[in-house]
Amino acid sequence: MPKNKGKGGKNRKRGKNEADDEKRELVFKEDGQEYAQVLRMLGNGRCEAMCIDGSKRLCHIRGKMHKKVWIAAGDIILVGLREYQDDKADVIFKYMPDEARLLKAYGELPENIRLNEGIGGLDEEDEGAADDYIEFEDEDIDKI
């Protein structure tokens, strides 16, 4: 039987859980960068995002973030714009939900943008759900 010459298996590749939960400095955009919201994930390290400047771009997740920082639809990201391709960009940074709320409070993000604040849209459904109940009168309950 051949001897294993590798450095370890799947768990080693995952690495130790680095403490990303601790407070980190808020990163603001610079020249050639733009804030964006992920519309959908396309696979192969790519996603489609709507930038704050109003254009939809195909974004490539950089190798440093690939399989380490998980990006989902609705996340706020910082993208680096390409000088030679306006319809493509590179994902530089992913903002945590609390950081995205801070950006919105600082006026960096427009007010009409919807952040992932839990499950949205349930409040409207709950109000309409009250109408679904059938109200019985005392006479009707006796018949049942």
Euclidean distance between CA atoms 4 and 1, whole angstroms:
9
Contact by Cβ (8 Å): 96, 104: no
Predicted pLDDT of residue 21: 56
Q: What is the pTM of this model?
A: 0.68
As a whole number, mean pLDDT of residues 92-97 equals 92
Predicted pLDDT of residue 11: 72
Euclidean distance between CA atoms 121 and 144, whole angstroms:
36
Residue 68, Ramachandran bin (φ over 0: left; ψ between -120 and 50: alpha; else beta): alpha
Alpha helices by DSSP H, listed for 5-143, are 10-14, 97-105, 122-129, 138-143
pLDDT digits (tens, 9 = 90+) for 28-86: 989 999 999 999 999 899 999 999 999 999 999 988 888 888 999 999 999 999 999 99
The b/e string for 91-125 (b: 16+ C-beta within 10 A; e otherwise) is bbbbbeeebbeebeeeeebeeeeebeeeeeeeeee
pLDDT digits (tens, 9 = 90+) for 20-36: 556 788 889 899 999 99
Predicted pLDDT of residue 136: 55
